[in-house]
Amino acid sequence: MIDLYTWTTPNGRKVSIALEEFGLPYTAHAIDISKGEQFAPDFLKIAPNNRIPAIVDRDTNIALMETGAILIYLADKTGKLMPKEGEPRYRVLEWLMWQMGGPGPMLGQVHHFVKYNPGKAPYAEERYLKEGNRLYKVLDTRLEGREFVAGDYSIADIAIWPWIARFEWQTIDMKQYPNVKRWYETIAKRPAVQKGYQVPKDAGPIPMP
């Protein structure tokens, strides 16, 4: 049994979607980051960076924060959604790390400046929106002639998809990125994605382009 501490955000959804895909039993605990619950001392014991999500695997007593580490841990635990060796494994890790260093932090800044603080910092809005569009273009090019980012559907797709699901907040027109749109729609149809998207509470329908 796994305890998942999470909220209805892209980083939180990476792990709830992965748990659904892996078919691992888990209990979701809501950490409402709008109320500052990520700073509660008990949460900080397992997530010292005061950010969701985090897990505690009761089978192994391993507590983990950081979605990249959590996804690799769960893929290794189950032997699913990441090749076990060789170049195919490194391709998945490559695109997982791309998400962790690119779309995660950069689109997060787009949300901060463009969605929540429009007009306060025009340079930052322009800078992060330009970077966001650049990353969509990189993803679109990668998905040209490929169904998924790295071989079969993997933890790399699961890491990227919830960030693209915020395309409306980002004011990014997904239709300009047809390969991203096709990939996004394919993944959105997966039952595990539809279930994991609504953890720890119903957040309305998945946005569709």
Ligand X SMILES: N[C@@H](CCC(=O)N[C@@H](CS)C(=O)NCC(=O)O)C(=O)O
Residues at the contact surface with ligand X, assessed by CB under 6 A: 9-11, 33, 38, 50-52, 66-67, 104
| 50 versus 78: smaller Cβ distance to ligand X | 50
Give the C-alpha distances (Å, rounded to integers) separating 30 from 34, 38, 135, 180, 193: 11, 10, 30, 30, 18
> Collapsing DSSP states into helix, strand and coil, what is residue 160?
helix
Q: How many CB atoms lie within 10 A of CB 197?
A: 22
Minimum CB separation of residue 155 from ligand X in Å reads 12
- In the complex with ligand X, the residue whose CB is nearer, 83 or 104, is 104
Query: From the CB of 7, what's the least distance to ligand X, in Å?
Result: 6
Q: Which is nearer to ligand X, 37 or 182 (CB)?
A: 37
Taking the C-alpha atoms of residue 96 and residue 71, their distance in angstroms, rounded to an integer, is 9
Burial of 121 (0-12, 13-18, 19+ CB in 10 A): middle
30 bridge partner residues: 6
The residue among 43 and 181 lying less far from ligand X, judged by its C-beta, is: 43
Q: How far is the CB of 41 from ligand X (least distance, A)?
A: 15
Whichever of 5 and 181 has its CB closer to ligand X, that residue is 5
* The two structure tokens encoding residue 160: 């990227």
Sheet-wide strand order for 62-65: 26-30, 2-6, 54-57, 62-65
Give the span between the Cα atoms of 63 and 73, in whole angstroms: 11
Amino acid at 32: D
* Nearest alpha carbon to residue 154 among 35, 41, 9, 21: 21
Q: Give the nearest distance from C-beta 113 to ligand X in angstroms.
A: 15
Q: How far is the CB of 141 from ligand X (least distance, A)?
A: 24
Q: Which is nearer to ligand X, 10 or 181 (CB)?
A: 10
